[in-house]
Amino acid sequence: MLMALALLCAIIALWFAVGIYSVLRLGISLQQGMLYAPFKAFFRIEDRRLRNARAAQPPVIYAVWHRSRIEPALMLCLLPPDTLHILDEASARSFWLDPWRALARTIIFNAHHVFVSRRLARRLRAGGRLAVYLPDDVSPDSKSFRLFRAIARIASNADARIVPIHVEGAVRSPFSLSPGEAARLAPKFRITALEPMTVPQMVALADGEKPMGANAFFDRMLAVRSQTASRAETHEPA
């Protein structure tokens, strides 16, 4: 009994220590830190690059590759609490995500009208932040690519910058949305975030013939995935 109590106290102490450490290091709130602590400890998350993402001045759109069920919970912990998170229906209704959804305002993604809503552009122009979650498809068909066009259009209308974010390792976790991936109980996570850029700046990065805004945005999203892979290969510290 005493050993069990001691173990419980040690777990609680570790939880609070990791939570407070995350609060001090990343500048997140205490509530965010406490809900982030289990993920940080269990998946040994490298999250240094999220500090720059948090510091991005609004209007800003955080564009997150959605490869597992865990990205919404992580971003609700790590992004500024005034961010509006646009979730897929499963994430918006999942009971286990209730404590994390309480950290910030969330709405359900509606493929028919939410991403062309003038309300989102107005929110950005007023100094707002959005977090959008993009399906894990590096070769989207024309129907799926409409999502990239819609985000690029909203960002352009609001003169907002976009921060691409990728959580390497999440697809190999028990939370994965891709059953074919080699699952592991606790793979190490690495979070990569690129520098915030407007759509015109993304277009200007391209060599040769300049792409349309949506294509430039899509290329930028592919770049954050490849950068994460490169860091893993070179063992770059976070």
Tell me which residue of 116, 118, 168 sits closest to 147, measured CA to CA.
Answer: 116
Q: What pLDDT score does 87 carry?
A: 92
Which has the higher per-residue pLDDT, 209 or 56? 56
Query: What's the burial of 58, exposed, middle or buried (CB within 10 Å: 0-12/13-18/19+)?
Result: buried
Summarised one tens digit per residue, pLDDT across range 89-109 is 889 889 999 999 999 999 987
Is residue 34 over pLDDT 60? Answer: yes
Q: What is d(CA 132, CA 84) in angstroms, rounded to the nearest whole number?
A: 9
The residues near 171 (Cβ < 8 Å, ≥ 6 apart) are 67, 68, 136, 177, 178, 181
How many distinct helices (H) and strands (E) make up the chain?
10, 6
| CB-CB contact of 37 with 138 (8 Å) | no
Q: What is the mean pLDDT of residues 59-84?
A: 95
4 or 33, which is more confident: 33
In terms of Cα–Cα distance, which of 64, 75, 70 is closest to 91? 70
pLDDT bracket for residue 228 (50, 70, 90): low
Per-residue pLDDT at 227 exceeds 80: no
Q: Name every residue whose Cβ is closer than 8 Å to that of residue 110 and which is 6 or more positions away in sequence.
A: none
Residue 235 has pLDDT above 80, yes or no: no
Asked whether 47 and 78 are in contact (CB, 8 A), the reply is yes
pLDDT of the residue at 116: 53
Distance CA 162, CA 94 (A): 27
Residue 233 is predicted with a pLDDT of 47
**Predicted pLDDT of residue 115:** 55
CA-to-CA distance for 182 and 196, rounded, in angstroms? 32
What confidence score (pLDDT) does residue 4 get?
A: 66
Q: Could you tell me the pLDDT band of residue 8, with boundaries at 50, 70 and 90?
A: low
Count of all residues that appear for the chain in the document: 238
Give me the phi and psi of 106, to 5 degrees please: -130, 150
Strand partners, 21: none
Convert the pLDDT of each residue in 144-195 to its tens digit. 788 898 899 999 999 999 999 999 998 888 888 886 666 777 889 999 999 9
CA–CA separation, 81 vs 186, rounded Å? 27
Beta-strand pair 161-168/190-193: antiparallel
| Predicted local confidence at residue 71, as pLDDT | 96
pLDDT band at 230 (very low <50, low <70, confident <90, very high): low
pLDDT tens digits, residue range 106-156? 998 765 555 557 788 899 999 999 999 998 888 888 877 888 988 999 999
